[in-house]
Amino acid sequence: MSVVDLARFMDDLATESGQAILPFFRAAFGMDDKGHGSGTFDPVTEADRAAEVILRGLIRRTFPTHGILGEEFGPENLEAECVWVLDPIDGTRAFIAGLPTWGTLIGLTHNGAPVRGLMHQPFLGERFSGDGATARMRSAKGERVLRSRRGTSLKHALLATTDPRLFADGPERDGFTAIEAAVRMSRYGTDCYAYCMLAAGQIDLVVEAGLKPYDIVALIPIVEGAGGVITAWDGGPAAPGGRVVAAGDRALHTEALRLLNP
């Protein structure tokens, strides 16, 4: 497929999955706890499953040799050259609460490296996309190129994370505490939306832990395409998940790594 066709296909994935999700948002729907009594509430809804079924069906029909890694239904053909990495609703807790900070994540890897990503927020009518070299946002106001904010020092930075309670006691929590104490302001409950706001130049830093590949792969080409930097806390690739830090530019990213790895 050409680049133009691939971009159109990803738009089709977003449109079809969004149409499956929206009837459930701010409505009554079924919900299960994937935590299975572990003490950690890990929700999955009818909307998550319905959207992933649609995404997988479209991908299988269009690219039968591609692999798929999705949050709700597991891996398929991960040895393939191209693998789609899907999270039908990233931010399920926000979705349950009726807050529009969730999104559908659609990522594509080539030989294990993220090459394209799209975040769709159908309730707000926003799409963020990137290919590692460029990034764009499309909304009712039109389309614009995304550029992360540059030249912000740590003491003037705006930090975001989904939930500070997700950091494990010990060095992980200590690292986040050190970052939060150093910045100007922090915001919680942002999920995938924080990375898109970083790409848009609204947020300077995102620090998280406990991520899975489907939580982050789609967001990497968006952040990098906007000029941002995103890695694991140890400076390695962010695609496997785990502890991740994203920054608007290289200098801020370096400052953050110093505090996360004292």
Q: Kindly list the domain boundaries of the chain, sorted by start residue.
A: 3-145, 154-260
What pLDDT is recorded for position 216? 98
pLDDT tens sequence across 186-233:
999 999 999 999 999 999 999 999 999 999 999 999 999 999 999 999
Q: What are phi and psi of 205, to 5 degrees?
A: -140, 140
d(CA 154, CA 237): 22
Please compute the mean of the pLDDT values over residues 68-86 and round it to a whole number: 95
pLDDT tens sequence across 14-40:
999 999 999 999 987 665 655 445 455
Can you read off the two tokens belonging to residue 52?
């992933």
pLDDT tens sequence across 88-122:
999 998 999 999 999 999 999 999 999 999 999 99
Instruction: Give the DSSP letter of residue 189.
Output: S
Can you read off the two tokens belonging to residue 209?
């832990």
- In a 3-state reduction of DSSP, which class is residue 221? helix
Does the domain at residues 154-260 carry the CATH identifier 3.40.640.10? no
Do the Cβ atoms of 204 and 236 come closer than 8 Å? Answer: no
Is the pLDDT assigned to residue 59 strictly greater than 60? yes
Please compute the mean of the pLDDT values over residues 47-69 and round it to a whole number: 95
For residue 167, name the pLDDT band (cuts at 50, 70, 90): very high
What pLDDT is recorded for position 32? 62
What pLDDT is recorded for position 262? 79
Percent residues over pLDDT 70 in the chain: 92
Please compute the mean of the pLDDT values over residues 133-154 and round it to a whole number: 97
3-145 adopts what CATH topology? Fructose-1,6-Bisphosphatase; Chain A, domain 1 (3.30.540)
What pLDDT is recorded for position 46? 86
Please compute the mean of the pLDDT values over residues 144-170 and round it to a whole number: 96
Same fold for the pair 3-145 and 154-260? no
For residue 74, name the pLDDT band (cuts at 50, 70, 90): confident
Q: What is 25-93 written as a DSSP string?
A: TTS---EEETTTTSSS--EEEHHHHHHHHHHHHHHHHH-TT-EEEETTTEEE-TTSSEEEEEEEEE-HH
Is the pLDDT assigned to residue 60 strictly greater than 60? yes
74 vs 101 pLDDT, higher one: 101
d(CA 137, CA 131): 13
E-strand ranges in the chain read 31-33, 43-45, 67-70, 74-76, 82-90, 103-110, 113-121, 126-130, 135-139, 142-145, 158-161, 185-188, 205-211, 229-232, 242-247
